[in-house]
Structure 1
Amino acid sequence: MTPYDGIPVIDTHIGFREAGYDEYAFITRQTKDRESRDEYSMPAQYMFTGVPADLSTDDPISVTLHEMDRHGIEIGMVSMAKESGQRAVRMFPDRFVPQGSAVDPNDIMGTLNRMTREYEEFGIVSVSSFAAGTFPQVALNAPQMYPIYAKCVELDIPIFACAGIAGPRLKSAVQHVELIDDVMFDFPDLVFVTRHGCEPWQDLAVKLMLKWPNLYYSTSAFAPKHYPKAIVDYANTRGADKIIYAGYFPAGLTLDRIFTDMPHVPFKDEVWPKFLHENARKVLKLKG
């Protein structure tokens, strides 16, 4: 028995291991240390143990679906940047929902055109941002990001954005959590969901979530045993509607690791359904 038995799960950060696709090339072209460039299979490997390896790439959709079924994941949000993601939402629209390709504020018009195209073709329910991975780097509150935020508001979709110290050995100032305050002030209708922890500014993230109604936090790239205490405490008090489950399979964590840890997270009983699926349904506007 677990505290969340019978509760469906929506994973807002899941994907596929696709043959011949170097999903980290945009990071390693910026890193300067030897391990990141020449030794690691993923640029933040020093942070993770048990990175999923030796996954079959013959049918990546079936591999991910199998793992989802084993762990009660009803729906996964997947990127349209990969062919496998596009194929998955077409073949299994009841299991996968489409997230737009990561935004590139160094190509504003290209990004806006791609957002429109993916919205019309796939019905994307969100887009993603990795400020530290942009090249050259563009901060979360930089002018280049503002047309992208405006487009999100126009399409009525949220942006999931990495915030806090970047895992890869890149400069992280462009992801400082305090920058989100500017964004929410200028775009009060924008739904903004943080990714990858907000550390070491998780207390500031809580303060900003209290301040801004449309600011949320997702738990991507963190094994549940490492969820920041400030986030767990916030979910158990005033923030039950603000914290959203996200995994990191197959990029850095196995679902076995995540769901072995999960029962030990000290959420209150009433928080689990909100955390595991209700908040995601609301933010992504999915039918219940």
Structure 2
Amino acid sequence: MSEFPDDPQAIDLMIAFPFKKADVYAFLREQANDAESKAGAGDLAMPAGYMFNDVGDDADPDEDVIETCIAAMDAVGVAAGLFNLNDQSIEAARRHPGRVHFSLEIDPNDVMGAVRQIREAHAEHGIKAVTTFPAGCQPQVPISDAKYYPVYATCVDLDIPICPTVGVPGPRVPMACQTVDHVDRVCFDFPDLKIVMRHGCEPDEELAVKLMLKWPGLHYMTSAFAPKYYPKAIVDFANTRGTDKVMYAGYYPMGLSLDRIFEQLPDVPFREKVWAPFLRDNAKRVFDL
């Protein structure tokens, strides 16, 4: 294990402003089939809240959540983040130039609507990525399904990455649509597509590593994992042949505080050569930041 840098200058590839969880996650409660998730009480206002020690409080109605988030970033050394495109993030980018980059979340069930949204967001706001949650789409859409193919083609055309959630979802919805094996077919059909898998790829991290070795455009972000739980296969890969493939992403304020993440990061057994690519350089290159 090497020493964690004093000035991380990290780029966080999954970050948001504090919000009211019951409102944001209402769509997932509607999809749930168990009474506890449907009720959404307590930590399950965030449907994967049972997985986290403390999902954190909702934003105060009078709180300036933009400044709350920027202050949290400053406190730990996060230089910039990738935020979902909306009015709030647009205002944050105006106030804090260079610190707020945009991604766009899509549901491919409206195939051409999603394509138009991507093209308009790229033209008007310079989005740096498209994100998607296959198990959270209504109805679910497998990663390798034809509905996604126009989205992938658009990302190739605009030279921006697609960031799908891959692996067992935290919310209590079926997983088959986003297992790691789907990614292999997409990489074959779109060799120029940049894919950054998010949310762990569990329980098939070793398969994810094999696929990253196989496909040049395939990458991994550490979103939704406290650093002490980073999969061993991913840490080993970053330390060896995957130094340019693995990149940092947090989960603030959805399930992890930035304080907790950066308290634990120094204990991750990365080699010295890994820290700069992991914290920022890979993100700069892949997302053109």
TM-score range, shorter chain: over 0.9
TM-score (norm 1): 0.95
Instruction: Summarize deviations over 1:162-214 as a string: whole Å, max 9, x none.
Output: 00000000000000100000000000000000000000000000000000001
Q: How many residues end up aligned between the 2 structures?
A: 284
Partner of 1:155 in structure 2? 158
Q: More helix by proportion, 1 or 2? A: 2
> 1:45-101: per-residue Cα shift (whole Å, max 9, x none)?
110011121443521100100000000000011001x3212221232221111111x
Contact 1:244 1:277 in 2 (8 A): yes
The answer to whether the 8 Å contact 1:60/1:84 transfers is: no
The secondary structure found in structure 2 opposite 1:110 is helix
Q: 8 Å contact 2:31–2:173 — kept in the other structure?
A: yes
Which residue identity does 1:157 align to in structure 2?
I
Whether 1:124 aligns to 2:138 is no
Which stretches of structure 1, 4 residues or longer, exceed 3 Å deviation after superposition? Answer: 18-21, 54-57
RMSD: 1.4
Is the counterpart of residue 193 in structure 1 residue 193 in structure 2?
no
Give the percent of matched residue pairs that are identical in Structure 1 and Structure 2.
48
Would you say 1:77 and 2:82 are equivalent positions?
yes
- Superposition pairs of residues 270-285 of structure 1, within 5 angstroms: 270-285=273-288
Report the AA paired with residue 94 of structure 2: R
Letter in 1 for 2:227: P
Tell me what 1:224 maps to. Answer: 227
The 3-state SS of whatever aligns with 1:29 is: helix
The SS at the match of 1:49 is coil
SS in 2 for 1:270: helix
Query: Alpha-carbon deviation of 1:28?
Result: 1.0
- 1: distance between equivalents of 2:120 and 2:29? 28
What does residue range 88-237 of structure 1 map to in structure 2 within 5 Å? 88-100=92-104, 102-237=105-240
Q: Once the two structures are superposed, what CA deviation does each residue of 1:118-155 show, in whole Å capped at 9, x if it has no partner?
A: 11111000010100001111100000000000000011
User: How much has 1:2 moved relative to structure 2?
Assistant: 5.0
Question: For structure 1, which segment, 197-206 or 3-12, has the greater mean C-alpha deviation from structure 2 after superposition?
Answer: 3-12
In the alignment, does 2:11 pair up with 1:7? no
- Aligned-partner Cα distance in 2 for 1:235–1:271: 7
| Matched residue, 1:26 | 27
- Which segments of 5 or more consecutive residues in structure 2 lack a partner in the other structure? none
Between the aligned partners of 2:186 and 2:96, the Cα distance in structure 1 is 35
| 2:80 and 2:101 in contact (8 A); partners too | yes
Shift of 1:21: 7.8
- Inter-CA distance 21–50: structure 2 relative to 1 (3 Å threshold): closer
Q: Structure 1 residue aligned with 2:73, among 65, 68, 74? A: 68
Residue 49 of structure 2 is matched in structure 1 by 45
In the alignment, the residues of structure 2 paired with residue 223 and residue 163 of structure 1 have an alpha-carbon distance, to the nearest angstrom, of 17
Query: Is the 1:235–1:242 Cα contact (8 Å) retained in structure 2?
Result: yes
